[in-house]
Amino acid sequence: MYRAAVIGLGRMGSTFDDEMTRGGSIFLPYCHAPTYMASPHTRLVAGADLHTEQGAIFGQRWGLAPDRIYTDYRDMLAAEQPDIVSVCTTARHRAAIMKDAIEAGVKAIWAEKPFTISLAEADEVIDLSQRNNVSIAVNCSRRHNPFLTEARRMAQEGELGEILQITAYAECHISHNGSHAIDTMRYLVGGDVEWVFGEMESDEEAAADEDLKGNGYLAFDNGVRGYLRAMPTGIAPWEFDLIGSEGRVRSLANGTDTQYYRWVPGGLRDEGLPARAPFPLPLSIQGTGLSVMDDLVAAIETGSSPRCSAEDGRKALEIAIALRESHRQGGRRIDLPIADRSLKIHSVEIGGDALPARVRRLQQATSAAR
- pLDDT, tens digit, 9 for 90 and up, residues 22-81: 888 999 999 999 999 999 999 999 999 999 999 999 999 999 999 999 999 999 999 999
CATH number for 2-142+288-308: choose from 3.40.190.10, 3.40.50.720, 1.20.1280.50, 3.20.20.150: 3.40.50.720
Beta strands in 201-358 (DSSP E): 214-220, 225-229, 239-244, 247-252, 257-264, 273-277, 334-335
Beta strands in 221-358 (DSSP E): 225-229, 239-244, 247-252, 257-264, 273-277, 334-335
Q: What is the model's pLDDT at position 164?
A: 98
Closest-CA residue to 62 (of 90, 43, 76): 43
- Residue extent(s) of CATH 3.40.50.720 domains in the chain: 2-142+288-308
- Residue extent(s) of CATH 3.30.360.10 domains in the chain: 143-283+315-335
Average of per-residue pLDDT across 282-306: 97
pLDDT at 365 over 90: no
Task: Express each pLDDT in 172-220 by its tens digit.
Answer: 999 999 999 999 999 999 999 999 999 999 999 999 999 999 999 999 9
Q: CA–CA separation, 262 vs 253, rounded Å?
A: 21
Burial of 138 (0-12, 13-18, 19+ CB in 10 A): buried
Q: CA–CA separation, 116 vs 314, rounded Å?
A: 8
pLDDT at 352 over 90: no
Range with the poorest average pLDDT among 101-105, 144-148, 280-284: 280-284
Structurally, at CATH architecture level, domain 143-283+315-335 sits in: 2-Layer Sandwich (3.30)
Q: What is the model's pLDDT at position 367?
A: 78
Q: Are 134 and 107 in contact (CB under 8 A)?
A: yes
Whether the model clears a pTM of 0.75, i.e. scores above it, the answer is yes
